[in-house]
């Protein structure tokens, strides 16, 4: 049996652990824990999406609409682009992998930031390409450093905005300047997984470049975060028609399931749920910013523009374990080279209070 030789060195993604698994391991008889480890929406899916899914359940003997006609039509109208500018994915993670299929091979590289979403590295490794990590400034993408890291072999430069796990952003002005200097041989990938949760004034309109016909940019978004549909796996990319057409060559015929398409369509109609979610996140971030300095000797944190926050607790792995014993699951940050930090998803007010109480207890 002969494997592709590089496959065994591709790291396996370590997801936040399911609540049930942690409960079983620690011997809790209930699963009533707080999982604030994966930046999910703690309000759950939109009630409109739940209703639409219940109604759609009896059609699940049918294959999905492989072209995602209705969802693309609705997204196109909402975003002011054409359906041909849109690509649906089984989560935005799948779209990152598609980009690997289309652009990466041995000898090529992608440029990312040293502390950005780990899947970019995994996808580079999957295609036996190099991931070049540019230094950051103040936990924020240094776009000039990223430009400087580009080589003739660079195919993708990935800007995660807001960035996971730091929650930091680049301003619309910084991004415009970056795009002006970007060489034509490189595709700019803007991962906007948390876009809908940003304050309006921080949201850069990158789709204007797609509308204007620019070829070397793609914007990735997801229904997993603000829309609370992570379990269904659905995201989308917006880019030039030629690029979308290339991505279509590497997908399976039914890569996005029917339930996900139904729920996403309904979720787009639920402005109320989105507004409630944004409000919950803004209030939670404010609460953490107010309380962290009062815990222990004052906890350092990185001001965030997404539904999570990076906080320096010292020995993140140990704090993670201690929190787990108190039925709170967060994410330690060793994997990101930040062993003294943990990342906490903003939850409901009650969840946030419990997280703070558990932290106070430990620290």
In the complex, which residues of this chain contact ligand PLP (CB under 6 A)?
A: 39, 91-93, 117, 160, 164, 191, 193, 222, 224, 230, 235
Give whichever of 194 and 301 is closer to ligand PLP, judged by the CB atom. 194
Give whichever of 280 and 356 is closer to ligand PLP, judged by the CB atom. 280
- Kindly state the smallest distance separating residue 333's Cβ from ligand PLP, in Å: 13
Give whichever of 295 and 309 is closer to ligand PLP, judged by the CB atom. 309
Q: Would strands 109-113 and 154-160 be described as parallel, antiparallel, or unpaired?
A: parallel
- Kindly state the smallest distance separating residue 93's Cβ from ligand PLP, in Å: 3
Give the angle subtended at the CA of 261 by the CAs of 259 and 265, to the nearest 5°.
120
- Check whether the bond before 317 is cis (ω within 30° of 0): no
Give whichever of 158 and 319 is closer to ligand PLP, judged by the CB atom. 158
Can you tell me whether residue 233 is helix, strand or coil?
coil
Give whichever of 235 and 284 is closer to ligand PLP, judged by the CB atom. 235
Residues 6+ apart with CB under 8 A from 305: 162, 167, 168, 169, 194, 197, 198, 199, 202
Give whichever of 37 and 182 is closer to ligand PLP, judged by the CB atom. 37
Can you tell me whether residue 292 is helix, strand or coil?
helix
- Kindly state the smallest distance separating residue 223's Cβ from ligand PLP, in Å: 7
Task: Specify the residue for token string 């917006």.
Answer: 238
- Kindly state the smallest distance separating residue 100's Cβ from ligand PLP, in Å: 14
Residue 243 sits at φ, ψ, to 5 deg, of -70, -45
Task: Calculate the CA 355 to chain-centre distance.
Answer: 22
Give whichever of 93 and 261 is closer to ligand PLP, judged by the CB atom. 93
- Kindly state the smallest distance separating residue 30's Cβ from ligand PLP, in Å: 27
What are the C-alpha distances in Å from 104 to residues 76, 99, 131, 240, 362? Answer: 28, 8, 10, 19, 45
Question: Which run of H or E residues covers position 217?
Answer: strand 217-222
- Cite the DSSP H helix spans in 44-142: 47-56, 69-79, 92-103, 119-126
- Kindly state the smallest distance separating residue 3's Cβ from ligand PLP, in Å: 26
Which residue number places its CB atom closest to ligand PLP? 91
- Kindly state the smallest distance separating residue 225's Cβ from ligand PLP, in Å: 7
- Kindly state the smallest distance separating residue 148's Cβ from ligand PLP, in Å: 23
- Check whether the bond before 359 is cis (ω within 30° of 0): no
Smallest Cα–Cα separation from 133: which of 110, 104, 106, 166?
A: 110
Give whichever of 117 and 320 is closer to ligand PLP, judged by the CB atom. 117
């Amino acid at each position: 049996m002969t494997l592709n030789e590089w496959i065994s060195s591709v790291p396996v993604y370590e997801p936040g652990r399911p609540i049930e698994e942690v409960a079983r391991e620690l011997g809790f008889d209930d699963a009533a824990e707080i999982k604030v480890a994966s930046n999910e929406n703690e309000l759950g899916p939109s009630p409109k999406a739940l209703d639409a899914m219940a109604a759609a359940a009896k059609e699940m003997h049918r294959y999905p609409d492989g072209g995602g006609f209705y969802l693309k039509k609705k997204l196109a109208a909402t975003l002011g682009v054409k359906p041909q500018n849109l690509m649906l994915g089984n989560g935005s993670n799948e779209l990152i992998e598609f980009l690997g299929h289309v652009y990466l091979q041995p000898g090529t590289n992608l440029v990312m930031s040293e502390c950005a979403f780990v899947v970019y590295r995994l996808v580079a490794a999957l295609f036996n390409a190099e991931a070049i990590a540019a230094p950051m400034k103040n936990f924020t993408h240094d776009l000039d450093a990223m430009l400087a890291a580009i080589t003739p072999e660079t195919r993708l430069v990935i800007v995660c905005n807001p960035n996971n796990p730091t929650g930091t952003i680049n301003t619309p002005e910084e991004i415009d300047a970056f795009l002006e200097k970007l060489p034509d041989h490189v595709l700019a990938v803007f991962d906007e997984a948390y876009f809908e949760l940003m304050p309006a004034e921080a949201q850069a309109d990158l789709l204007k470049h797609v509308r204007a016909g620019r070829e070397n940019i793609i914007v990735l978004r997801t229904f997993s975060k603000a829309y609370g549909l992570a379990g269904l796996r659905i995201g989308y990319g917006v880019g030039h028609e030629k690029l979308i057409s290339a991505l279509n060559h590497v997908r399976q015929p039914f890569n996005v399931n029917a339930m996900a398409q139904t729920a996403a369509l309904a979720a787009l109609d639920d402005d109320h749920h989105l507004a409630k979610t944004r409000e919950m996140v803004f209030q939670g971030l404010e609460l953490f910013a107010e309380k962290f300095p009062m815990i222990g000797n004052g906890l350092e944190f990185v001001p965030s523009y997404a539904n999570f926050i990076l906080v320096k607790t010292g020995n993140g792995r140990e704090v993670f374990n201690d929190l787990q014993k108190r039925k709170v699951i967060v994410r330690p940050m060793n994997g990101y080279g930040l062993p003294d930090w943990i990342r906490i998803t903003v939850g409901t007010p009650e969840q946030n209070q419990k997280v703070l109480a558990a932290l106070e207890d430990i620290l």
